Amino acid sequence: MKKGYHPRRLLQAIFLVTLLSCFLSGIVQAQWWPEYWVDELKQRMVADVQLDRDIPIHVGLEVQVYDNYYSYPEDDYFLEYPEDTSPEMTVKAVDYLAITSFGDMPVQGVLRNLADHLMGTRSYLPVLVALSFPPQNRGSLPFSLTMHLPERNLMWTSFTLNALHDDLPGSGVTRLDLAYKTGSTHFIDPADVRTAVLAYLTQYPAEPESPRVTHRQLLNHLKASFSAIVDIRSEMHTTRSGPVPVHFVSELSRPDGKPFSESATMRVDAAPEGTNGSPARGYRLVLYYALGLSVDDYPDLVDLNDQILTRIGEFEPSVSVWKDFINQSLEQIETVTGSAARYISFYMDGNYGRDDVDISYLSRKGIPMYGDDALYTGYELAFGSLETFFGYSVSFRLEMADFILYSETEMPEPEVLADSLISQALNPALPLDRFKNEAMLHRYLNAVGYNYGTFNYWEYLYNGSTSSEISGIDDIGNTFRHILDGVAGTSGKFTEGPGVPAVIRLLQNYPNPFNPVTYISFEIDQAMDVSLEVFDLTGRMVAQPAAGMHDQGVHIVRFDARNLASGVYIARLRTVDGVYSTKMVLVK
């Protein structure tokens, strides 16, 4: 028998591992595996803060607060969202920068002191803080310094080179977004990095449709040239000109001592009615490459683009089902990419007929945690300016998707959900004591999307297999941005509880007075026939905004009075259980 080989010890180890595995599996199945989990990012940006230094300087401030939370099946499927602390953290940072004299302290020292101030005595704080610096003198670059708390010994420096087509004529590179991590005491001037980038790309130009080789070599060159860099990330933007311009983005990340993580994005923008040779429908394709590919393993993106343009040119919304079409398109893409792509995400422009909402159909494969064969299908809605009940407009993006093999509920058509979100954002029945800030508004709109437009549960705001983003300007002029990304199981108990109306009510229209559009809301406690009518003061019915069978819940109806004269009107809701009225004032 070989030295060190003990059969009895080996069997004992196998037995213990098996026993522990069964025990842990039982725990997970019984209660420890979350039914829902959510990642949330809350970001606030202040455009102009003056630093008191020997030579005063104006900087931009950014504060990001991260939260993640989850619910177990025994928790009745509800999530209680934490308070949004980003406003108070931003105020704390602004106050500190405004009253502190930094003398001749270098910029990285200012960031480190700010991070220490925000941390205080806490050992952990899920916050990112960043300062953006304008050009210090002629020839220098604007840049930003970022620190994740409590990791205050490391710092990211990031900047963008926008005019590379002027600096490097004929190279095909239009833009380079570069970020590198160093120790918080090591500041590498972006101007020095820019010089190194230009020198390298002048000697080794990048091919527009295939910049990845040059891109990898550039990052390796920068890491070798600046020893303080421990991590580096970059996006290289190139454009292939022609009748149909194609925009390529090569994204690389190279942590210290680890192989490259690499992705590629292709984008073709639509043109009205396909003018100038461009397609009437655009697309966006994201590929995450497998690790360790050789040069010959990469797919031919130019040929792939030609196939995609031919494919989407065949799409006829009047005779095609978009879900089947988008899934078949992804299968065709997968045939070309083969094993080189471990993750594929394909977006194709949809149709809606409104200038303020963009629809993109999507299909995705290779999702982490769900296996290489999981097919994820849905759509993305993007509202450039969504009017809300709170008196300001926001930009809002919502991605809805589900696993085609496991979906128990058919998603509504994107046009239907878009209309629902537009009306719900103006819902005057929202309890203002709960919706005090943008984060709560975002959670509500996300929940409306996840519940397919009929969300009524006021006690808990829940988001599931969706991702969304809201942004805008708050009432004091600061920019805000929130991102939600959630994963969920079934929502079996979602529509039960106090959110279901217990009575019939006709709510006050909003806005009131109005000119010429207002929104009339009513609640019904069960499905029933209703008639919503509008009368003038002579008793003449001038409009019937809604009629017929309506489901249980809250309903918001848009009323356009552009053909009516100024004055007082009566909105009247007729149901089998009674008649309900409210006054409306039209002022032109």
Q: Give the confidence band of 36 by pLDDT, cuts at 50, 70, 90.
A: low
Q: Check whether 303 has a pLDDT greater than 70.
A: yes
Residue 562: inside a domain: yes
Question: Tokens 């060190």 correspond to what residue?
Answer: 4
Average pLDDT of 78-103? 87
Residue 93: inside a domain: yes
Could you give the angle at the alpha carbon of 308 between the alpha carbons of 304 and 314, nearest 5°?
155
Residue 541: inside a domain: yes
Could you give the angle at the alpha carbon of 463 between the alpha carbons of 41 and 33, nearest 5°?
95
pLDDT in tens, 202-254: 888 877 777 877 888 899 899 999 999 999 999 998 888 777 888 999 998 87
Does residue 126 have a cis peptide bond before it, meaning omega lies within 30 degrees of 0? Answer: no
Residue 417: inside a domain: no
> Reduced to 3 states, what is the DSSP secondary structure of residue 407?
coil
Average pLDDT of 465-476? 82
Tell me how far apart the alpha carbons of residues 32 and 27 are, in angstroms, rounded to a whole number: 6
Tell me how far apart the alpha carbons of residues 452 and 455 are, in angstroms, rounded to a whole number: 8
Residue 386: φ, ψ to 5° = -100, 115
Residues of the domain holding 122: 37-152
Q: Which of 152, 185, 205 is the last residue of a domain?
A: 152
- What's the whole-number average pLDDT of the chain? 79
Task: Output the domain CATH number for residue 62.
Answer: 3.30.1130.10
Pairing mode of beta strands 101-103, 36-53: parallel
Residue 490: inside a domain: no
Residue 492: inside a domain: no
Residue 561: inside a domain: yes
Q: How many domains does the chain have?
A: 2
- Most confident of the following: 1-5, 316-320, 327-331: 327-331
pTM of the model: 0.74
Q: Give the confidence band of 7 by pLDDT, cuts at 50, 70, 90.
A: very low
Q: Which of 123, 152, 181 is the last residue of a domain?
A: 152
Q: Identify the pLDDT of residue 146.
A: 96
Pairing mode of beta strands 393-403, 143-149: unpaired
Residues making up the chain, counted from first to last: 588
Q: Which of 105, 128, 152 is the last residue of a domain?
A: 152
Amino acid at 187: F
Residue 369: inside a domain: no
Q: Identify the pLDDT of residue 62.
A: 96
Q: Check whether 24 has a pLDDT greater than 60.
A: no
Task: Output the domain CATH number for residue 565.
Answer: 2.60.40.1930
Q: Identify the pLDDT of residue 45.
A: 95
Give the long-range contacts of residues 92-99, CB within 8 A, separation 24 or more.
92/117, 92/118, 93/61, 93/63, 93/117, 93/118, 93/129, 94/46, 94/49, 94/61, 97/49, 97/50, 97/51, 97/59, 97/61, 98/49, 98/50, 98/52
Residue 336: φ, ψ to 5° = -75, -45
